[in-house]
């Protein structure tokens, strides 16, 4: 066991368990707690599709190198399987409690066998009218090989026998997703999983045969893209081809319904080419992302009270005075904190005004996850159609958004936008926009740098910070960055920005070392999504040994083991989860230039991929009011009386804070603080 490093994969599973703990929290409304069960399931699906799939590929290739914590790929898979089995059991126990409490409040997930004959008749008619026509039973026999099982598709396995000959066949029925997974009964309060309806009408799919048994199952496959970019003549075509191939990725997990026979389970494991350790058995319905359907019910009494975002005060005053957002940024840089402060009235408004402003001459932007219906993308197209030079770097390799981004790339190109796909071998994860405008006193560059994606949907639920400025040095650096991304250049030096993979790592290491020189007077606070990079871990441990206090706010993975005497005893690690996904990356060094603390915000986590294999940007925050705001953010999240989880030297995360979540909700405290400032 490594003294300083924890296993990345087990740390991620611990994160998902913390998400599950939100479903148990008193003080969170019932349907919100149900939503966290669904999020857990979605998270676990992605984990298997990417991380477990990568480990299985390593084992299949005969690779035996160990992870930084000293664990081999095969050993990691064994530990993951054990942890996943425990997680499924715990998740089902939590769900049992929630479903019981929901039933008392008039929302019921019911089984077929508990229904009255009248209810069953209603569902049989629904089956005959809407479900039966789209089902395709596939039997396995010498003329029909075992069917391909799509990734994450819900299926019914059945053993069918001929009553005259006694011949038995395996059959599979895929549950289509063209109708709701949870079927509402006429009272609108009770819901039946659609697979149960199909299962109890299976005889109609196999006329004259006997359905001996049936069980629900689901297969998870490797869904990561594998691109040889150096050999690709056209990256767009290569990504589209790889997306088609991804549907046929290798299986990595089999989920089955409790009660499945050993015979049927053995057949599935054998035909799908898995091991028994790759199987998880479920008592509740498979694929609990269906619970998002319950969360969407119009039951405000069972949901969070809305927190309407406010418009940043300086933008609001400009709107009242009929001034442009550019005039606000010219006065001084603007920092906005989403979703507490509106993304629509700030970032979207910035792009929309740029698109329609006759003084704007060019717009350049990076798009990592634009989302389905993007007002920002439509603003860019509108600008291009009226003759503005618009260049957009669309990151085609944004995991699980590849197809959406391919679609936007084609749509933007048809509108006259210059679309590029970034640098070979690197993902462009930076969130930057550059607007060049002819002001009265000459050309001026307006810049937005953010910690989150230009995605209108996630901006309402992801906590992020955006920075808008017309500072000449920042504008010059962002211009050089875009020229590097869209053109052809080697050495690019930046005066203000910290950019990966150029110099972000070295600058961060230098800043940590500089803070260590102050000993016990030093203090580092890093708010990150994940910390996995061994070199960064070692640097923080050296700072701790020098007496520096280190506070890490890591929402997800943390591979640093805190609290080890003589190594990391001055490091505290906590994780904060809640209504919003804590997504911003903010770093604070007590001793920056001169006497003032140094703040950095941007897109990069402290992971090898972000520091070495992605284009990332972090920008210094210089204005005292912006620093005070960020200090307030960190103060709320580091307070002793908030609900959080803290990581111990034994690698166990422990809940801290008031017994009732709402009594120690850091996000609610910050929202109230923002709203109070707005009222004043």
- Catalytic residue positions, numbered: 429
Element (H, E) at 582: strand 581-582
CA distance 539 to 323: 47
Question: Tokens 């998902």, residue?
Answer: 16
User: CA–CA separation, 535 vs 543, rounded Å?
Assistant: 12
Distances (CA, A) of 68 to 6, 140, 509, 537, 614: 8, 45, 19, 11, 20
Strands 598-602 and 523-528: unpaired
Helix (H, G, I), strand (E, B) or coil at 374: coil
Give the containing element (helix H, strand E) for 435.
Answer: strand 431-439
Cβ neighbours, 10 Å, residue 674 = 19
The answer to whether 136 touches 174, Cβ cutoff 8 Å, is yes
Instruction: Supply the DSSP string of 442-467, one letter for each residue.
Output: EEEEEEEEESS-S-TTGGGTEEEEEE
Structure tokens at 305: 């009270």
Region class of 379: left (phi > 0), else alpha (psi between -120 and 50), else beta: alpha
Strand-pair category, 644-647 with 334-338: unpaired
Q: How far apart are CA 433 and CA 301, in angstroms?
A: 40
- Helices 73-104 and 53-60: angle between axes, nearest 10 degrees: 160
Beta strands 462-469 and 581-582 are: parallel
Count of C-beta atoms within a 10 Å radius of residue 548: 25
Is there a contact between 65 and 234 (Cβ–Cβ < 8 Å)? no
The three-state (H, E, C) secondary structure of 5-38, written as one string: ECCHHHHHHHHHHHHHHHCCCCCCCHHHHHHHHH
């Amino acid at each position: 066991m490594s003294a300083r490093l924890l296993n990345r994969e087990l740390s991620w599973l611990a994160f998902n368990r913390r998400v599950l703990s939100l479903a148990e929290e008193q003080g969170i409304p019932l349907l919100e707690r149900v939503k966290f069960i669904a999020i857990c399931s979605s998270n676990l699906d992605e984990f298997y599709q990417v991380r477990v799939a990568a480990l299985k590929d390593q084992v299949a290739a005969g690779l035996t190198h160990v992870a930084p914590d000293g664990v081999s790929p095969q050993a990691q898979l064994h530990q993951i399987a054990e942890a996943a089995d425990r997680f499924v059991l715990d998740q089902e126990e939590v769900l049992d409690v929630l479903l019981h409490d929901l039933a008392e409040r008039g929302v019921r997930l019911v089984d077929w066998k508990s229904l009255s004959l009248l209810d069953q008749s209603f569902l049989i008619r629904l089956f005959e009218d809407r479900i039966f026509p789209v089902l395709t039973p596939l039997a396995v026999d010498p003329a029909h090989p075992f069917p391909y099982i799509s990734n994450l598709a819900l299926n019914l396995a059945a053993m069918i026998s001929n009553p005259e000959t006694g011949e038995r066949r395996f059959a599979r029925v895929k549950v289509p997703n063209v109708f709701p997974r949870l079927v509402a009964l006429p009272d609108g309060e009770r819901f039946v999983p659609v697979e149960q309806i199909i299962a109890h009408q299976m005889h109609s799919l196999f006329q004259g045969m006997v359905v001996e048994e049936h069980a629900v199952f689901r297969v998870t496959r490797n869904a990561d893209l594998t691109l040889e970019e150096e050999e690709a003549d056209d990256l767009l075509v290569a990504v589209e081809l790889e997306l088609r191939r991804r549907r046929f990725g290798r299986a990595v997990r089999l989920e089955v319904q409790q009660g499945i026979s050993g015979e049927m389970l053995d057949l599935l494991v054998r035909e799908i080419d898995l091991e028994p350790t790759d199987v998880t058995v479920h008592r509740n319905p498979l694929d609990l992302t269906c619970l998002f359907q319950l969360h969407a019910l119009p039951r405000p009494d069972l949901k969070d009270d809305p927190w309407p975002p406010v418009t940043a005060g300086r933008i609001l005053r400009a709107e009242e005075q009929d001034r442009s957002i550019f005039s606000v940024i010219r006065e001084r840089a603007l920092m906005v904190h989403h979703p507490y402060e509106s993304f629509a009235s700030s970032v979207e408004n910035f792009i929309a005004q740029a698109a329609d402003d006759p003084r704007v001459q060019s717009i350049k932007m990076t798009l990592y996850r634009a989302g389905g219906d993007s007002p920002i993308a439509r603003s860019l197209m509108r600008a291009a159609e009226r003759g503005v030079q618009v260049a957009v770097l669309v990151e085609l390799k944004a995991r699980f958004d590849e197809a959406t981004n391919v679609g936007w790339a084609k749509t933007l190109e048809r509108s006259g936008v210059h679309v590029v796909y970034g640098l070979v071998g690197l993902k462009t994860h930076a969130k930057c926009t550059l607007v060049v405008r002819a002001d009265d006193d000459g050309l001026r560059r307006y810049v937005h740098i953010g910690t989150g994606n230009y995605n209108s949907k996630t901006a309402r639920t992801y906590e992020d910070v955006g920075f808008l400025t017309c500072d000449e040095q920042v504008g010059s650096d962002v211009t050089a960055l875009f020229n590097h991304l869209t053109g052809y250049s080697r050495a690019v030096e930046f005066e203000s920005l910290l950019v990966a993979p150029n110099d972000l790592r070295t600058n961060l290491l230098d800043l940590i070392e500089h803070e260590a020189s102050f000993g016990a007077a030093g203090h580092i606070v890093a708010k990150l999504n994940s910390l996995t990079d061994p070199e960064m871990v070692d640097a923080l441990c050296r700072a701790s040994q020098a007496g520096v206090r280190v506070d890490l706010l890591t929402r997800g993975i943390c591979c640093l083991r805190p609290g080890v005497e003589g190594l990391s005893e001055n490091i505290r690690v906590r994780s904060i989860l809640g209504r919003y996904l804590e997504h911003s990356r903010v770093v604070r060094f007590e001793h920056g230039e001169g006497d003032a603390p140094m703040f950095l915000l941007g897109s990069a986590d402290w992971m090898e991929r972000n520091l070495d294999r992605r284009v990332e940007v972090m920008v210094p925050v210089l204005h005292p009011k912006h620093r005070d705001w960020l200090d307030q953010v960190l103060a709320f999240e580091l307070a002793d009386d908030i609900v959080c989880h803290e990581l111990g030297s034994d690698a166990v995360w422990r809940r801290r804070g008031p017994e009732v979540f709402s009594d120690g909700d850091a996000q609610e405290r910050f929202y109230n603080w923002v709203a109070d400032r707005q009222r004043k």
